């Protein structure tokens, strides 16, 4: 941002506000006309379509999430949706190196990681209808054709595929004011053409006054020439217009603010109002993006184009958040021992949840990535020497599992705070069974089907099921916490709900041997079938969970496990409490 702030100052973001004669007095209740929108009793649902050009990875998901945040700050309800052009039905069977993390929703859908941005930035709860792929669309159409739904007609991309896409968009519009739809890929890609055609048609279906097109593009700075170049943006918009879509707003990704001359040039060549050429400047934290866009007037322009009242924006909480992020009191380092450390997007929600834990304690969290296989070498232990906390995240397959066990052993023996998630939970219990309980050969059947002590084995419900796609224990499940346990103290409640994604489970036959040696099962499913949490009461902070708490962490509401873990890591580093006390959270809703 322009200028800087001191430790005691808030950054000055001059958001666009309506005049007093346009807006009623501020109230905690949303205006009735806005509350009723989308319910059939008020104004029609509005739609925002976000596309990208020039190159991939410009941040369409963050842009859509930031716009959703701004609209919520104005009092509107939003839903966000992502269309991905690849042919996989979902990303569940894709390598993390190919696609990044698989984000899991409450209803058990395996989805694109951008849905994590949507939920972290807004109050929406994603569902399986929030993410559609080419494969999922075509599968639905083919199933309808096999049932005879098309009454003998020739099934074609237009209208059948495009109608299916439009039906999916309408499916996200229940009880909300605005639906934001992100189209994955880059304009010009052959794979995304049906989606672009569908959103072109959608404006004709619902009316120009109810839709806007926002195009995210790149304005690179060429160092040798000392100039910002607008030609990539011009060409990208030309490609978009060639298929019948004229963008209403351009978000120009760049490393510096665009001056009036550059904006005027882009507006002229792209046939966009000059005020709608928005600088999408690089920022030091992704949580600053909504404030930067608001300072450019994006929220005011969006509301104007959608013919929605320009209500007062309440961005105070978000400004306070950014202030805390930029002004930490201290910092610490968490060592993350994983299998896919070469590509950080493989653990996107995990990264953000760790940072959220730092926000709760006004601490800066640095992540040190440790390849699990590297710990299997004789000198591997040295990689963990400076850790203030050790986190072992999820994964699949045998590679690196012995390194994960060494990470758990290092933490257990040296009193370093340990947080095991999913696969990390499984290998923490196997390590304890081997090295503390003396169960030689204890293992997971995912690695050794003939292990003498099958501490971890395949879900009993999946015995005989060989398909990999969508066959795990997926989605939101209840967990009861043991009275007086560390887990119960952290959550501040005895019943929680967390999201799961696993194919193997803890073998309850080994609960007694582990408990006799000091490991406590502090969380289990209400029916007693699944062990969900294990902890070591004698350790400063050792918690391993079968579920994925990172999927429910938000910057304004950090997950209590991550907040407590970061506080414990800081205590391990300094021998004192974190600068800001952490209130126990609750996940009982």
Confidence band of 472 (pLDDT split at 50, 70, 90): confident
- Asked if the structure places residue 24 within a domain, the reply is no
Residue 566 lies inside a defined structural domain of this protein:
yes
Q: 251, 215 in Cβ contact below 8 A?
A: yes
Check if the beta carbon of residue 185 is closer than 8 Å to that of residue 191. yes
Per-residue pLDDT band for 466 (boundaries 50, 70, 90) equals low
Q: What is the pLDDT of residues 507-535, one digit of tens each?
A: 999 999 999 999 999 999 999 999 999 99
- Output the pLDDT for position 3: 41
- CA 151 – CA 139 distance, rounded (Å): 18
> What pLDDT is stored for residue 294 in this prediction?
96
Contact between residue 34 and residue 311 where contact means Cβ atoms under 8 Å apart: yes
Beta carbons of 73 and 314 less than 8 angstroms apart: yes
Q: Comparing 507 with 94, which gets the higher pLDDT? A: 507
* Residue 502, strand partner residues: 473
Alpha carbons within 13 A on the beta-carbon side of 567: 18
Residue 250 lies in a domain: yes
44 burial via Cβ count (<10 Å: 0-12, 13-18, 19+): middle
Look at residue 585 and tell me if it is in a domain: no
What tokens does 103 get?
A: 């984000």
Q: How many CA atoms lie within 13 Å of 476's alpha carbon, on the beta-carbon side?
A: 15
Residues 252 and 339 in one domain: no
CA distance linking residue 169 with residue 347, whole number of Å = 28
Tokens read off for 531: 């062990």
Q: What confidence score (pLDDT) does residue 424 get? A: 95
* Boundary-marking domain end, from 260, 290, 321: 321
Query: Which comes out higher in pLDDT, residue 456 or 578?
Result: 456
223 shares a domain with 345: no
Write out the H or E segment, with its range, that includes residue 234.
Answer: helix 231-242
Residue 207 belongs to a domain with what CATH number?
3.40.50.300
Rounded-to-integer distance, Cα 565 and Cα 568, Å = 5
Cis peptide before 507 (omega within 30 of 0): no
Over the chain, what is the mean pLDDT? 89
- Is 434 within 8 Å of 404 (Cβ atoms)? no
Q: Which of 269, 287, 321 is the last residue of a domain?
A: 321
Residue 462 confidence (pLDDT): 56
Question: 135 with 284, same domain?
Answer: yes
Pairing relationship of beta strands 542-545 and 531-535 according to DSSP bridges: antiparallel
User: Does 240 lie in the same domain as 141?
Assistant: yes
Within a domain: residue 179? yes
Of the given ranges (185-189, 451-455, 456-460, 486-490), which has the lowest mean pLDDT?
A: 456-460
Contact 251, 217 (CB under 8 A): yes
- Average pLDDT over every residue of 26-51: 60
pLDDT in tens, 287-346: 999 999 999 999 999 999 999 999 999 999 999 999 999 999 999 999 999 988 878 888
Average pLDDT over residues 103-112: 95
Among 12-16, 251-255, 460-464, 573-577, the least confident range = 12-16
Q: Give me the pLDDT at residue 8, please.
A: 37
Residue 184 in domain: yes
- Residues 401, 104, 493, 566, CA torsion sign: positive
Structure tokens at 117: 């941005």
Q: pLDDT at position 146, please?
A: 93
- What is this structure's pTM? 0.89
Q: Is the pLDDT of residue 25 over 70?
A: no
Task: Measure the CA–CA gap between 295 and 279, rounded to whole angstroms.
Answer: 10
Distance CA 296, CA 368 (A): 35
pLDDT at position 465 is 54
H helix or E strand, kind and range, residue 457: strand 453-458
The answer to whether position 18 is within a domain reads no
Tell me 160's DSSP state.
Answer: I
Of 365, 389, 361, whose CA–CA distance to 567 is shortest?
361
Give the pLDDT score at 42.
Answer: 78
pLDDT (mean) for 80-102: 89
Q: Which residues contact 266 (CB under 8 A, 6 or more apart)?
A: 219, 230, 233, 234, 250, 252, 258, 272, 277
Q: What is the pLDDT of residues 192-240, one digit of tens each?
A: 999 999 999 999 999 999 999 999 999 999 988 889 999 999 999 999 9
Q: Which residues pair with 557 in a beta bridge?
A: 554
Same-domain status, 102 and 187: yes
Q: Do both 311 and 335 map to the same domain?
A: no
Q: Tell which residue, 107, 83, 203, 581, has the closest CA to residue 363.
A: 581
Give the C-alpha separation, 22 to 306, whole Å. Answer: 16
In this predicted structure, which of 34-48, 59-73, 272-286, 416-430 has the lowest mean pLDDT?
Answer: 34-48
What pLDDT sits at residue 152?
81
User: Is 582 contained in some domain?
Assistant: no
Burial class for 181, CB neighbours closer than 10 Å (0-12, 13-18, 19+): buried
Taking only the tens place, the pLDDT of each residue in 394-425 is 888 889 899 999 999 999 999 999 999 999 99
d(CA 518, CA 521): 10
Q: Please check whether residue 355 is in contact with residue 365, taking contact to mean a CB–CB distance below 8 angstroms.
A: yes
Residues 6+ apart with CB under 8 A from 39: 175
- Which residues span the domain enclosing 62? 32-321
| Catalytic center residues | 422, 548, 550
Residue 319, H or E segment: helix 316-326
| Distance set, CA 220 to CA 75, 231, 234, 281, 524 (Å) | 35, 9, 12, 11, 52
374/519 same-domain check: yes
Can you give the length of the chain in residues? 589
Q: Indicate if the pLDDT at residue 582 is higher than 80.
A: no
pLDDT of residue 20 exceeding 70, the answer is no
User: What is the pairing mode between strands 504-506 and 542-545?
Assistant: unpaired
- The pLDDT, as a whole number, for residue 584 is 41
Last-in-domain residue among 266, 296, 321: 321
Q: Do residues 302 and 350 share a domain? A: no
Query: Are 297 and 333 part of one and the same domain?
Result: no
Residue 524 structure tokens:
């289990």
Same domain, 379 and 402: yes
Same domain, 374 and 399: yes
The pLDDT assigned to 41 comes to 43
- Please check whether residue 487 is in contact with residue 533, taking contact to mean a CB–CB distance below 8 angstroms: yes
221: β partners: 228
- How far are the Cα atoms of 71, 118, 211, 215, 443 from residue 46, in angstroms, in the given order? 12, 18, 6, 17, 54
Q: How confident is the model at residue 17 (pLDDT cuts 50, 70, 90)?
A: very low
Q: Nearest to residue 216, comparing CAs of 244, 236, 197, 201?
A: 236
What is the CATH classification number for the domain harbouring 568? 3.40.50.880
Separation CA 31–CA 341 (nearest Å): 47
Average pLDDT of span 175-192? 94
Which residues is 83 bridged to in the sheet?
132, 183
The pLDDT assigned to 471 comes to: 66
The answer to whether the CB of 294 falls within 8 A of the CB of 258 is no
For residues 379 and 283, membership in a common domain is answered with no
Q: What's the domain count of the chain?
A: 2
Q: Between residues 458 and 490, which one has the greater pLDDT?
A: 490
What CA–CA distance (Å, rounded) separates 302 from 527? 49
Cross-strand partners of 476:
499
Residue 110 structure tokens: 């395996």
In 269-374, beta strands by DSSP E = 277-281, 330-338, 363-371
């Amino acid at each position: 941002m322009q200028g800087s702030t001191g430790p005691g100052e808030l950054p000055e973001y001059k958001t666009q506000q309506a005049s007093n004669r346009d807006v009623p007095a501020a109230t905690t209740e949303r205006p009735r006309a806005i509350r009723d929108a989308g319910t059939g009793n008020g104004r029609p649902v509005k739609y925002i379509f976000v596309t990208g050009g020039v190159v991939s990875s410009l941040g369409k998901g963050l842009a859509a999430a930031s716009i959703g945040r701004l609209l919520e700050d104005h009092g509107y309800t939003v839903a966000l949706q992502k269309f991905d052009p690849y042919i996989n039905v979902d990303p569940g069977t894709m390598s993390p190196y190919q696609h990044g993390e698989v984000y899991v929703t409450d209803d058990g859908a395996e989805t694109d990681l951008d849905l994590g941005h949507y939920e972290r930035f807004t109050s929406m709860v994603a569902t399986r209808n929030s993410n559609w792929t080419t494969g999922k669309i075509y599968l639905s159409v083919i199933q309808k054709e096999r049932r005879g739904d098309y009454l003998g007609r020739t099934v074609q991309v237009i209208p059948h595929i495009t109608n299916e896409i439009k039906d999916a968009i309408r499916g996200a519009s229940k009880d909300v004011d605005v639906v934001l739809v992100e189209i994955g890929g880059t304009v010009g890609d052959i794979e995304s053409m049906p989606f672009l055609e569908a959103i072109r048609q959608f404006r004709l279906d619902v009316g120009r006054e109810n839709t806007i097109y926002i195009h995210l593009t790149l304005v690179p700075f060429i160092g040798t020439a000392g100039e910002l170049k607008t030609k990539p943006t011009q060409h990208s918009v030309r490609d978009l217009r060639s298929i019948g879509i004229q963008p209403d707003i351009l978000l120009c990704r760049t490393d510096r603010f665009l001056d009036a001359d550059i904006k005027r040039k882009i507006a002229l060549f792209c046939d966009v109002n000059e005020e709608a050429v928005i600088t999408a400047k690089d920022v030091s934290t992704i949580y600053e993006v909504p404030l930067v866009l608001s300072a450019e007037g994006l929220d005011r322009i969006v509301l104007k184009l959608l013919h929605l009242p320009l209500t007062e924006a309440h961005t105070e909480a978000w400004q306070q958040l950014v202030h805390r992020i930029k002004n930490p009191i201290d910092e610490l380092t968490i060592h993350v021992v994983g299998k896919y450390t070469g590509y950080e997007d493989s653990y996107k929600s995990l990264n953000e949840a760790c940072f959220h834990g730092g926000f709760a304690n006004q601490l800066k969290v640095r992540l040190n990535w440790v390849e699990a296989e590297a710990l299997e070498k004789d000198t591997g232990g040295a990689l963990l020497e400076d850790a203030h906390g050790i986190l072992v995240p999820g994964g699949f397959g045998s590679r690196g599992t012995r390194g994960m066990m060494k990470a758990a052993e290092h933490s257990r023996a040296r009193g370093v705070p340990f947080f095991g998630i999913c696969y990390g939970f499984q290998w923490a219990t196997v390590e304890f069974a081997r090295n503390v309980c003396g169960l030689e050969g204890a293992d997971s059947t995912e690695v050794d089907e003939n292990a003498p002590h099958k501490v971890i084995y395949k879900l009993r419900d999946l015995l005989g099921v060989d398909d990999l796609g969508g066959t795990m224990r997926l989605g939101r499940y209840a967990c009861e916490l043991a009275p007086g346990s560390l887990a119960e103290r952290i959550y501040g409640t005895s019943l929680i709900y967390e999201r799961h994604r696993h194919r193997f489970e803890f073998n309850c036959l080994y609960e007694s041997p582990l408990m006799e040696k000091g490991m406590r099962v502090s969380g289990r499913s209400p029916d007693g079938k699944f062990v969900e949490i294990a902890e070591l009461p004698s350790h400063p902070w050792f918690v391993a969970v079968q579920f994925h708490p990172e999927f429910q962490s938000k910057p304004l509401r950090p997950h209590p496990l991550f907040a407590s873990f970061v506080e414990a890591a800081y205590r391990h580093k300094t021998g004192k409490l974190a600068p800001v006390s952490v209130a126990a959270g609750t996940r009982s809703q």
